[in-house]
Amino acid sequence: MAILREALARDRMRKGKEQGRIVKKGEARSEVESFIQNVHHFRDDCLVDSTRPPIEHVAIFDEAQRAWNLNQTANFMRRKKNKLDFNQSEPEFLISCLDRHLDWAVIICLVGGGQEINTGEAGISEWIDSLNRSFPDWHIHVSSRLTDSEYGAGRVLESIPSHFHVVYQDELHLSVSMRSFRAEYVSLLVKQLLDLHLEDARKTLGKVQGKYPIVITRNLAAAKQWLKDQARGSERYGIVVSSQAERLKPYAIDIRSNVDPIHWFLDGKQDVRSSYYLEDVATEFHVQGLELDWACVTWDANFRRAASGWEHWSFVGDRWHRIQKPERKTYLKNAYRVLLTRARQGMVIVVPPGDNEDPTRKPEFYDPTFAYLRDVGFIEI
């Protein structure tokens, strides 16, 4: 949200200059904030008076699958808002705010499949659950594709028929990615790749190759050069990594460094803070909902290919620990889904070679992942 507002403010200033009028940054930001509001500000306004309807009759929630579940919302309300008996999930509360209108209201939820990456994110299922549980009079228009596994809505969709006003519409599914405009099959390829559907991934890669280059390498320097060679003009490129990629430090990739996403996404090639410099890296939390033209995805040993499937690991202290909780496994898999779908035009995937002298970076932690990517058919550089 901050990046979008800053980008629009900068664009407003640029257009003002082209028209011969100086627009101060504060003025430009005020104009932008008048029509793009952080959902948390909307929530806080609605908390002031539980009976007063908001000014807005239409609310559009981007990344709606990231809204909090009941436990996360109640915990936040207790700690930050002194609401000790709060008993609604974030979707249920947000719907209730618009429900205060006596005439009409519309809520539009923009949903990405398999995008839940943080503790307490409820997914699209909680929006549907909330409607079924507390708002029987609302009309529901839902994509017929929500049954796909990555949306995780199958269970609640079974209960939708009991709701009085439900319409399934194919048109509500964006079947062609606006992000990957050069290849409509990239998201499908990533899904098949992460679901370990090897033969399907090979077939889909055949549809992608030629329009959307994807290459693999063990060499980060080679990957950086590939990005620079591919990009033309102002096309933006950068390195993205998992927020749990703790053992990339030997490659000067430190996920704990303080990256400013606004500078990383918006500043030019001469600014060392920008993505162009290939020094600072962005994680799934920085890039979700945003995109680059060309991306370098650097893969750590926290998500490993093994004979039994994917293995999920967390680096704590001085060693790797196996992740056991199913929801944490899902968050990690989804983190790589986010990283692998950030590029508009193409990407390079780096799987480091590891180091036999470092017990935290043994080659066997990385080699099976690279071998799997090579088996899918990605070109090695």
The average pLDDT across 190-217 equals 95
Average pLDDT of the chain?
Answer: 88
Q: Report pLDDT digits (tens) over 337-349.
A: 999 999 999 999 9
Is pLDDT at 2 greater than 80 in this prediction? no
Identify which has the larger pLDDT, 29 or 48: 48
Residue 247, φ and ψ in degrees, nearest 5: -105, 35
pLDDT value of residue 171: 85
The average pLDDT across 231-240 equals 96
Q: Count of alpha carbons within 13 Å of 373, Cβ hemisphere only?
A: 23
Is pLDDT at 154 greater than 70 in this prediction? no
pLDDT value of residue 4: 78
Q: From CA 135, how far away is CA 88, in angstroms rounded?
A: 13
Structure confidence at residue 335 as a pLDDT band (50, 70, 90):
very high
pLDDT value of residue 299: 98
pLDDT value of residue 209: 87
Is residue 132 within 8 Å of 162, Cβ to Cβ?
yes
What is the edge-to-edge ordering of all strands in the sheet holding 343-350? 237-241, 292-298, 343-350, 214-217, 379-380
pLDDT value of residue 151: 54
pLDDT value of residue 66: 80
Identify which has the larger pLDDT, 321 or 8: 321
Structure confidence at residue 139 as a pLDDT band (50, 70, 90):
very high
Is pLDDT at 156 greater than 70 in this prediction? no
pLDDT value of residue 41: 83
Q: From CA 209, how far away is CA 205, in angstroms rounded?
A: 6
For the ranges 61-75, 171-185, 276-290, 359-373, which has the lowest average pLDDT?
171-185
For residue 42, which of 25, 71, 67 has the smallest C-alpha distance? Answer: 67
The average pLDDT across 240-263 equals 94
Structure confidence at residue 185 as a pLDDT band (50, 70, 90):
confident
For residue 36, which of 64, 66, 62 has the smallest C-alpha distance? Answer: 62
The average pLDDT across 202-208 equals 94
pLDDT value of residue 255: 92
258 by DSSP, 3-state: which? coil
The average pLDDT across 271-289 equals 93
Q: 210: which residues sit within 8 A by CB, 6+ positions away?
A: none
What are the structural domains of the chain? 37-172 (no CATH), 186-380 (3.40.50)
Structure confidence at residue 380 as a pLDDT band (50, 70, 90):
very high
pLDDT value of residue 163: 62
pLDDT value of residue 182: 59
Is pLDDT at 332 greater than 80 in this prediction? yes
pLDDT value of residue 302: 98
Is pLDDT at 27 greater than 90 in this prediction? no
Is pLDDT at 316 greater than 80 in this prediction? yes
Structure confidence at residue 162 as a pLDDT band (50, 70, 90):
low
Q: Report pLDDT digits (tens) over 41-53.
A: 888 899 999 899 9
The average pLDDT across 89-109 equals 95
Is residue 146 within 8 Å of 124, Cβ to Cβ?
yes
Is pLDDT at 311 greater than 90 in this prediction? yes
Structure confidence at residue 113 as a pLDDT band (50, 70, 90):
low
Is residue 269 within 8 Å of 332, Cβ to Cβ?
no
C-alpha of 265 from chain center: 15
Structure confidence at residue 32 as a pLDDT band (50, 70, 90):
low
Structure confidence at residue 10 as a pLDDT band (50, 70, 90):
confident
């600072």: which residue's tokens? 280
